[in-house]
Chain A
Amino acid sequence: MSGKRNNPGNVFAYIIRRLLYSIPVLLAASFLIFTMVSALGDPLYILKMNPLSSKETIEHIAKVHHLHDSIPVRYVYWLRDVFTQGFGSSLFVDRPIWKDLVRVIPHTLQLVLSAEIVALMIGVGIGIYSSIRQYSFFDYAATTFSFLGFAMPVFWLALVLQIGFTNLFLSTHVRIFYTSGLSSVPTPHGIHFLYDRAQHLAIPVMTLAVLSIAQYSRYMRASMLDVINSDYVRTARAKGLSEPRVTLRHAFRNALIPIVTLSALSFGALIGGAIVTESIFQLDGMGFYFIQRLGYQDTYPIMAWLMITATMIVLFNLIADLLYGYLDPRVRYD
Chain B
Amino acid sequence: MTDHPIEPIERGSSLGPVAPAGPVAPPSTTEQEQALGLVYEHGLEVAVRSQWAYVRRRFVRHRLAMGSLVVLILVLLAGAFASVVAPYGYAGLNVTQLLQGPSWSHPFGTDLLGRDDFSRVLYGIRTTEKVAFLVGVLSVVIGTTVGALAGYYGKWVDNVLMRFVDLVLTLPGLAVLLTISSFIRSPDPVIIALILAALFWTVLARIVRGQFLSLREKEYVEAAKAAGAGDVRIMFRHMLPNTLGPIIVNGTLTVAAAILTEAYLSFLGFGIQPPTPALGRLINDGNDAGQAAWWLTVFPGLTIVLIVLCINFVGDGLRDALDPTQRKVRA
Contacts and interface: CB of A to CB of B under 8 A. Distances in A.
Interface of A: 25-26, 28-29, 32-33, 36-37, 40-41, 147-148, 150-156, 159-160, 162-163, 166-167, 170, 268-269, 271-272, 275-276, 279-280, 290-291, 294-295, 297, 302, 305-306, 309-310, 313-314, 317
B182 A156 contact: no
Give the interface centre of A153, A294, A305, A313 by most chain B CB atoms within 10 Å: A153
Interface of B: 166-167, 169-176, 178-180, 182-185, 256, 260, 263-264, 267-268, 270, 280, 283, 286-287, 291-292, 294, 297-298, 301, 304-305, 308-309, 312-313
A294 B169 CA distance: 22
A148 B309 contact: yes
Given A148-B305, A160-B298, A272-B172, A28 B167 contact: yes
B77 to A, nearest CB: 20
Nearest to A309: B172
A153 B264 contact: yes
Nearest to A265: B169
A245 to B, nearest CB: 31
A296 to B, nearest CB: 10
Contacts of A297: 182-183
Contact of B283 (A37, A159, A275): A159
Contacts of B167: 25, 28-29, 32
Given A37-B179, A163-B297, A302-B179, A153 B170 contact: no
B170 A155 contact: no
Contacts of B260: 153
Given A159-B283, A280-B287, 19 more contacts: A28-B167, A36-B180, A37-B179, A40-B184, A147-B313, A151-B256, A151-B304, A155-B263, A155-B268, A156-B283, A156-B304, A159-B287, A160-B298, A160-B301, A269-B174, A272-B264, A306-B171, A306-B175, A313-B171
B174 A272 contact: yes
B264 A155 contact: yes
Contacts of A279: 268
Contacts of A317: 170
A313 B268 contact: no
A110 to B, nearest CB: 18
A275 B287 CA distance: 17
A313 B166 CA distance: 12
Contact of B174 (A26, A40, A163, A275): A275
Nearest to A25: B170
Contacts of A313: 169-172
A294 B270 contact: yes
A29 B312 contact: no
A313 B270 CA distance: 24
Contact of A40 (B172, B180, B256, B301): B180
A276 B267 contact: yes
